[in-house]
């Protein structure tokens, strides 16, 4: 069945590492506009930038991208998303994909895939994505979030710690060889792209933060803590890089120029 979904892109102007990040130029257009353009290629019914800044909304309008101004006091992107869902008047059963405003190289097929996996799993409130971890350095990096799945590709847990752990993992010259791990237990890196049912999005900001969420600093653990399920689509490829720092911005500009030169 064809998947029917909407994209909402939360975008804040404030950034400690990269001021005015959503307005940074990528190939002649603001970054948030490039994100929206990529998201629209996914086949979404609509794509809306949800922002607390008039300059971002104006930049979107100038490029023909839908935008709405939200409150400035939202503690998280999920809260901003919930307001946007209400403002857009989406029904509770609508599927909403949250695309981050600093992902100008996001793969439209991946955006569609997280919506598809949620549509295919009516028992789940959220859909997301993951890809295989290729190196031991990634496995042990706490900034790389891991996810473990059950047999139906439902998330069992997310962590910054190495998981799962193969007790009998062989080492070669003191290094783990992840290529030798059992296929059904290969470590997976979580990709921070989410699809939600609009009704759950409306409830989520009211759910108390979970102790595990605070411990790991991972908001998705609140979903599992309160008994909801997260469906995961596994892709073989890592997504394109996002933008957090000036160095990231230069790298993404170069990649954009290469792809669209």
pLDDT at 16 (0 to 100) = 67
Residue 87 has pLDDT above 70, yes or no: yes
Q: Which pTM was predicted?
A: 0.93
Cα 147 to Cα 158: distance, rounded to the nearest angstrom: 4
pLDDT at 148 (0 to 100) = 97
- Name which of 121, 99, 88 is nearest 34 in CA terms: 99
Residue 83 has pLDDT above 90, yes or no: yes
Q: What confidence tier does 177 reach under pLDDT thresholds 50, 70, 90?
A: confident
DSSP string of 49-76? EEES-HHHHHHHHHTT-EEEE--S--SS
C-alpha distances (whole Å) from 104 to each of 15, 22, 44, 101, 111 are: 17, 10, 16, 7, 12
pLDDT by residue (tens digit) across 127-159? 999 999 989 899 999 999 999 999 999 999 999
Q: What are the structural domains of the chain?
A: 5-253 (3.90.550.10)
pLDDT by residue (tens digit) across 190-221? 999 999 999 999 999 899 999 999 999 999 99
pLDDT at 172 (0 to 100) = 65
What is the distance in angstroms between the CA of the first residue and the CA of the last residue of the chain? 36
Residue 83 CB coordination number (10 Å):
20
Residue 15 has pLDDT above 80, yes or no: no
Q: Quick one: average pLDDT of 250-258?
A: 93
- Name which of 1, 185, 201 is nearest 82 in CA terms: 201
pLDDT at 170 (0 to 100) = 76
Residue 12 has pLDDT above 90, yes or no: no
């Amino acid at each position: 069945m064809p998947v029917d979904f909407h994209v909402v892109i939360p975008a804040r102007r404030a950034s400690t590492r990269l001021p005015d990040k959503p307005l940074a130029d990528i190939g002649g257009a603001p970054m948030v506009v490039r994100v929206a353009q990529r998201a629209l290629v996914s086949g979404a019914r609509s794509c809306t930038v949800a922002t607390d800044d008039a300059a971002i909304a104006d930049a979107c309008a100038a490029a023909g991208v839908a935008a709405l101004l939200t409150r400035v006091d939202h503690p998280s992107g999920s809260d901003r998303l919930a307001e946007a869902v209400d403002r857009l008047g989406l029904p509770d059963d609508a599927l909403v994909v949250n695309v981050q405003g600093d992902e100008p190289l996001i793969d439209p097929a991946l955006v569609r895939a997280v919506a598809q996996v949620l549509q295919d799993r009516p028992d789940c409130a959220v859909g997301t994505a993951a890809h295989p971890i290729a190196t031991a350095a990634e496995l042990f990096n706490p900034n790389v979030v891991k996810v473990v799945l059950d047999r139906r590709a439902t998330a069992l847990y997310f962590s910054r710690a190495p998981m799962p752990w193969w007790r009998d993992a062989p080492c070669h010259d003191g290094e783990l060889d992840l290529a030798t791990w059992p296929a059904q237990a290969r470590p997976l890196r979580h990709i921070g792209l989410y699809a939600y049912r609009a009704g759950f999005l409306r409830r989520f900001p009211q759910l108390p933060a979970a102790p595990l969420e605070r411990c790991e600093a991972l908001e998705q653990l609140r979903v599992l803590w309160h008994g909801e399920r997260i469906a995961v689509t596994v892709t073989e490829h890592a997504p394109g890089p996002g933008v957090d720092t000036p160095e990231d911005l230069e790298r993404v500009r170069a990649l954009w120029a290469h792809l669209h030169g």
